[in-house]
């Protein structure tokens, strides 16, 4: 049982103009269509159907808000990328994403989910740069980490962390897998900081494990 099991659906909206509550703090989740965003939210909250998952890219078409308590929320932003939807709809979603990051004053952090095998594609970079320009801290979660063996996974994380330096902002990178629960602790610790629950430093469990296994 964790604090995040308290999450419950609050509302859906097509854009920030239709989001009533702007007090308190919230953390937003964003990512390319089919990057594993809904699965990550369900894993975090230990709820199978809090966020609807689908094998069809582009299922999330609205801004979905989940309440943790009266002052804290998680926000599931529309997926972007190669969703099989009309161009006009894609442009509408991208506008909604941009407006949210630039105008939503209560956002405390942004979680960007990317397939660990294909991180930092153009739209991912655009989104992260938007956040950095708006002084919003970013956690880049490299999803589907179970698809890679341990050595390759760690190499991808290190490469992504080096690439993230180019944003010149507060961008943290961790591997994540909903299936194997890799990176769940790192995600929770970062959210705890952003949501002002605790002031615990985020520790990379994989790095600690590797250090402990290295002969002194």
Domains of the chain (ranges plus CATH)? 3-213 (3.40.50.300)
Give the Cα separation of 99 and 50 in Å (integer). Answer: 25
Tell me the CA distances in angstroms from 207 to 9, 105, 115, 184, one per residue in order. Answer: 35, 34, 20, 14
How do residues 83-115 score in pLDDT, each as one tens digit?
A: 566 777 777 777 777 788 888 889 999 999 999
Q: Round to whole Å and give the CA distance between 26 and 7.
A: 12
Query: What is the structure's pLDDT at 82?
Result: 59
DSSP bridge pairs for 67: 8, 73
Q: How confident is the model at residue 21 (pLDDT cuts 50, 70, 90)?
A: low
User: How far is Cα 154 from Cα 125, in angstroms, rounded to an integer?
Assistant: 21
| Radius of gyration of the CA atoms of the chain, in A | 16
Comparing 105 with 52, the larger pLDDT belongs to: 105
Please report the pLDDT score of residue 206 as a whole number: 56
Instruction: Report how far apart the first and last C-alpha atoms of the chain are (Å, whole number).
Output: 36
Residues in the chain: 216
Of the two residues 216 and 13, the one the predictor is more confident about is 13
| Position 9 pLDDT exceeds 50 | yes
When mean pLDDT is compared over 84-98, 159-173, 188-202, the highest value belongs to: 159-173
pLDDT at position 73 over 90: yes
As a whole number of angstroms, the distance between CA 18 and CA 10 comes to 13
pLDDT digits (tens, 9 = 90+) for 120-165: 998 899 889 989 999 999 999 999 999 999 999 999 999 999 999 9
Q: Does residue 172 register a pLDDT over 90?
A: yes
Residues paired with residue 31 on neighbouring β-strands, in sequence order? 113
Whether 55 has a pLDDT exceeding 60, the answer reads no
């Amino acid at each position: 049982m964790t604090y995040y099991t308290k999450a419950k659906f609050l509302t859906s909206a097509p854009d920030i103009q239709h989001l009533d509550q702007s007090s308190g703090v919230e953390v937003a989740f964003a990512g390319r269509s089919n990057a594993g965003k809904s699965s990550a939210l369900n894993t975090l909250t230990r709820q199978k159907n809090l966020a609807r998952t689908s094998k069809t890219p582009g299922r999330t078409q609205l801004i979905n808000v989940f309440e943790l308590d009266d002052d804290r929320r998680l926000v599931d932003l529309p997926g972007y990328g190669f969703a099989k939807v009309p161009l006009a709809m894609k442009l509408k979603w991208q506008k909604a994403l941009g407006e949210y990051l630039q105008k939503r004053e209560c956002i405390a952090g942004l979680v960007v989910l990317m397939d660990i095998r294909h991180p930092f594609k153009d739209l991912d970079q655009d989104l992260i740069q938007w956040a950095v320009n708006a002084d919003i801290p970013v956690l880049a979660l490299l999803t589907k980490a179970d698809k890679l063996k341990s050595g390759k996974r760690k190499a991808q994380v290190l490469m992504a962390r080096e690439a993230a330096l180019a944003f010149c902002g507060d961008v943290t990178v961790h591997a994540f897998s909903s299936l194997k629960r890799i990176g769940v602790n790192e995600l929770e610790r970062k959210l705890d900081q952003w949501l002002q629950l605790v002031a615990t430093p985020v520790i990379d469990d994989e790095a600690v494990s590797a250090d402990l296994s290295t002969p002194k």
